[in-house]
């Protein structure tokens, strides 16, 4: 199963709860940090920051353009604003404000986009976002990250708040297995090899990295040693690691909880096309809207389960070896 709505016994807490805890932790350290919300604080869990720091929480209401305009003004006054909303509203409804009011002047604004990808499809197409990676990575000066687990999310948030200029990171409404320990750190432009291998590279970002790990475990049974690389920093991308790993294995698969159009798969293939052309298979949402449904059913429907990643790895290897 790709995921579930509630954590089972012994599993980590849902990522949005880890987001809430990290917000409060950072708020204790950063007195000029202000969280803004667009009437979604109980869903995104920014309500935790509101409870801890009521004087540093601004409820803008259902007015996303104002949300980012106010954040820009606060940044100009030396505050550290965190305008929080669903990813779809940041990437679609308020894109002009994000682009012109924040990115164009290069302001220090940290933007968490929640309710991303397949796990939040029951919110409907109007509230579900699969194109945010593509949109945000196209904005000049915007850094983009997608956490692989709760420790990675906390590390991304800490680095984001210390990073000059605009940052966008994703918060998935899902509980995922631990990949990294509590001392985990995050650096822009640096990927991480989760499993070493020599036969095919599985490049994952966000929650899909844990599915790549499961796919690699499946491939071991067939004598295939897959290398799993987590690319939490999507922009800037760790081009050296991407080229080195794909050159070593000779083929690759990309996996993202997002559209394959303009997302991680595009970022990786852009680099490989220029520096190390190898066969690549992309796992993610194709050119279509996401229907409402159960999480596991949707991961199956869109061909994004570990078995699909393993099958894509075999296709990439066959293409490399000329047996396809």
For residue range 254-299, what is the model confidence (pLDDT) as tens digits? 999 999 999 999 999 999 999 999 999 999 999 998 888 889 999 9
Q: How many domains does the chain have?
A: 2
Last residue within a domain, chosen from 117, 142, 171: 171
Calculate helix-pair angle for 239-249, 264-275, nearest 10 degrees. Answer: 70
* 47 inside domain: yes
Determine phi and psi for 171, rounding to 5 degrees.
-125, 110
**Which CATH number belongs to the domain containing residue 72 in this structure?**
3.40.50.970
* 74 inside domain: yes
**Which CATH number belongs to the domain containing residue 213 in this structure?**
3.40.50.920
pLDDT tens digits for range 197-217: 999 999 999 999 999 999 999
Q: Are residues 123 and 259 in the same domain?
A: no
Q: Are residues 167 and 238 in the same domain?
A: no
Q: Are residues 273 and 306 in the same domain?
A: yes
Domain of 317? 192-321
* 1 inside domain: no
* 177 inside domain: no
Enumerate residue ranges in the chain where pLDDT < 50. 1-10
Q: Are residues 150 and 59 in the same domain?
A: yes
User: Can you give the pLDDT at residue 271?
Assistant: 98
Q: Are residues 157 and 25 in the same domain?
A: yes
Q: Are residues 98 and 217 in the same domain?
A: no
User: Can you give the pLDDT at residue 12?
Assistant: 65
User: Can you give the pLDDT at residue 163?
Assistant: 96
* 7 inside domain: no
* 178 inside domain: no
* 9 inside domain: no
Q: Are residues 141 and 220 in the same domain?
A: no
Last residue within a domain, chosen from 123, 142, 171: 171
d(CA 240, CA 263): 18
d(CA 306, CA 312): 10
Q: Are residues 283 and 135 in the same domain?
A: no
Q: Are residues 226 and 106 in the same domain?
A: no
Q: Please, which residues have CB within 8 angstroms of residue 42's CB and are 6 or more apart in sequence?
A: none
How many helices (H) and strands (E) are present in the chain, helices listed first? 13, 12
Q: Radius of gyration of the chain from Cα atoms?
A: 19
Last residue within a domain, chosen from 140, 171, 202: 171
Q: Are residues 252 and 145 in the same domain?
A: no
d(CA 315, CA 280): 9
Q: Which one-letter DSSP state was computed for residue 118?
A: G
* 2 inside domain: no
Q: Are residues 205 and 278 in the same domain?
A: yes
User: Can you give the pLDDT at residue 11?
Assistant: 53
Q: Are residues 165 and 292 in the same domain?
A: no
């Amino acid at each position: 199963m790709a995921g579930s709505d509630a954590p089972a016994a012994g599993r980590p807490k849902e990522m949005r709860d880890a987001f809430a805890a990290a917000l409060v932790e950072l708020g204790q350290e950063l007195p000029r940090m202000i969280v803004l919300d667009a009437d979604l604080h109980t869903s995104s869990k920014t309500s935790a920051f509101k409870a801890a720091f009521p004087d540093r929480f601004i409820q803008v209401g259902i007015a996303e353009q104002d949300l980012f305009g106010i954040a820009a003004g606060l940044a100009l006054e030396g505050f550290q604003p965190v305008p929080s909303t669903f990813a779809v509203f940041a990437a679609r409804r308020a894109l002009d404000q994000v682009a012109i009011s924040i990115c164009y002047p290069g302001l220090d604004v940290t933007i968490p986009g929640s309710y991303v990808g397949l796990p939040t499809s029951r919110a409907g197409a109007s509230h579900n976002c699969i194109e945010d990676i593509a949109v945000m990575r196209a904005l000049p000066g915007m850094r983009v990250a997608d956490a692989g687990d709760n420790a990675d999310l906390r590390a991304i948030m800490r680095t984001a708040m210390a990073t000059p200029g605009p940052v966008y990171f994703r918060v998935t409404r899902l509980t995922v297995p631990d990949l990294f320990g509590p001392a985990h750190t995050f650096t822009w432009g640096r990927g991480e090899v989760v499993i070493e291998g020599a036969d095919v590279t599985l490049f994952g970002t966000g929650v899909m990295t844990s599915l790549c790990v499961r796919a690699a475990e499946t491939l071991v049974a067939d004598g295939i040693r897959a290398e799993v690389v987590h690319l939490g920093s999507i922009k800037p991308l760790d081009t050296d690691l991407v080229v080195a790993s794909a050159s070593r294995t000779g083929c690759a698969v990309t996996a993202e909880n997002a559209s394959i159009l303009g997302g991680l798969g595009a970022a990786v293939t852009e680099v490989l096309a220029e520096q190390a052309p190898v066969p690549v298979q992309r796992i993610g949402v194709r050119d279509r809207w996401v229907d409402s449904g159960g999480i596991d059913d949707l991961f199956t429907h869109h061909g994004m389960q570990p078995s699909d990643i393993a099958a894509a790895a075999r296709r990439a290897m066959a293409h490399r070896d000329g047996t396809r």
